[in-house]
Structure 1
Amino acid sequence: MAYGGTKSMASGLLFLNLIMYVVVAIIAGWAINYSIDESKNSLNGVSPPVRLFPIYFPIGNLATGFFVIFALITGVVGISTSLTGLRDVSQGYPASMMSAAASAIVTWTLTLLAMGLACKEISVSGRPASLRTLEAFTIILAGTQLLGAVSLHAGAHAAILETPIGGRV
């Protein structure tokens, strides 16, 4: 009985995280595209240390480059984790639930890394609204991904307990 509740909660959180990771990937992809397009115009007459980072971000502050790249990586990994997690939860086997739980933990650690960079970017200085939106989604995702990973672990534990042991004893 408890397995059905954790399975539906995990599915709901995985779907919510899927939508939010898609938004994060779209905004981070836009920020990288914008910086690539605008860096040609922004770098005229700039001193050499700015050219050390391959993508110069004309928006935001010095933490923006690292944050946007890690947010894009987190978004892509989160999308793949959510999609495979939804498939694994729908199968309902203990091994597939454990696989979904393990990949959710990896995605959560990447999300924590991006969240830490978002907090650093917030503390440095002001940013445009698009970056504030990306920061907010990343910080919220750190919490919802943790809830999803916990519910997947609980579902895996319940699936293991409810699996009948066959054979002779």
Structure 2
Amino acid sequence: MASVGLGRGLATPLLAINFALYLVAAILAGWALNRNFDAAINRGEGAVGNNVTQGFFLPVALIACMVGLASVLAGLHHMRVFRSESLAAAAATSLIAWLLVLLAMGLACKQIHTGGNRPRRLKVVEAFIIILALFELLYLLSLHLGFGRAGSHHGAGTGIGMGGVGHGHGHGHGSHDPSIPAHNHEHHVDYGRHTDMKIPVGHVHNPAHPTTV
């Protein structure tokens, strides 16, 4: 239970941090992509970045930010209901977002290595993408720390219900004590466990000794 509380306590602030980072990175990446679109038709102040920026980094960064925001929304829903079904959705979207952020981080590193016209806003996008690769991984690990609580809570409810039905069925139809004969309306068929139980005549037919009318 301590690890479950730790996982839930870590996931909540990580959701807030990831939401802020994804939102700012998406806004700045959208600004840079819009500026490059305007530069392609001879409008605006000119393109930013290099060949990696215009063709690869900005589109992948925007997609990663959108999927990351979706993982934040799924995580908020999971923190509210905290069940195994919501955990599956939150963990799946977080894993996809983390893989996309890793791809964007690799392109950001290539862009930094290549150089070119990189204004301050574009450098902020690069830094946020690299930071998000770590924070998204931490959030994904914190979700798996809470897996035991969410899964056991759902399973415990099902198990108790099944046990309760079985317990009530046993008390309603008779006792398993060999000294107490079974009722006439019951058919106790148990192979190997209650061999000393007295079974009323006519309940189990022996093929070797057919009954005559």
TM-score, normalisation: structure 2: 0.68
2:89 maps to which residue? 99
Equivalent residues of 1:98, 1:156 under 8 A apart: no
Q: Distance in 2 between matches of 1:143 and 1:157?
A: 23
Query: What residue identity is the alignment partner of 1:79?
Result: L
Secondary structure at the residue paired with 2:48? coil
Secondary structure at the residue paired with 2:149? helix
2:143 maps to which residue? 152
Equivalent residues of 2:14, 2:139 under 8 A apart: yes
Q: Distance in 2 between matches of 1:32 and 1:150?
A: 32
Question: Cα offset for 1:33?
Answer: 1.1
Q: Distance in 2 between matches of 1:6 and 1:156?
A: 9
Greater C-alpha radius of gyration: 2
Q: Distance in 2 between matches of 1:8 and 1:59?
A: 40
Unaligned stretches of 5+ residues in structure 2: 167-213
1:73 pairs with 2:74: no
Q: Distance in 1 between matches of 2:148 and 2:51?
A: 44
Question: Cα offset for 1:128?
Answer: 1.6
Aligned length: 155
Percent identity for Structure 1 against Structure 2: 42
Equivalent residues of 1:35, 1:58 under 8 A apart: yes
Deviates more, 1:111-120 or 1:82-91: 82-91
Partner deviation per Cα, 1:104-123 (whole Å, 9 max, x = no partner): 11110000010010011011
Partner deviation per Cα, 1:23-73 (whole Å, 9 max, x = no partner): 11101111111111222227xxxxxxxxxxxxxx82111110210111111
2:125 maps to which residue? 134
Bigger relative contact order, structure 1 or 2, given CA contacts below 8 A and separation 6+?
1
Equivalent residues of 1:17, 1:141 under 8 A apart: yes
Equivalent residues of 1:74, 1:107 under 8 A apart: yes
Secondary structure at the residue paired with 1:100? helix
TM-score, normalisation: structure 1: 0.85
Deviates more, 1:131-140 or 1:97-106: 97-106
Q: Distance in 1 between matches of 2:37 and 2:93?
A: 32
Query: What residue identity is the alignment partner of 2:53?
Result: T
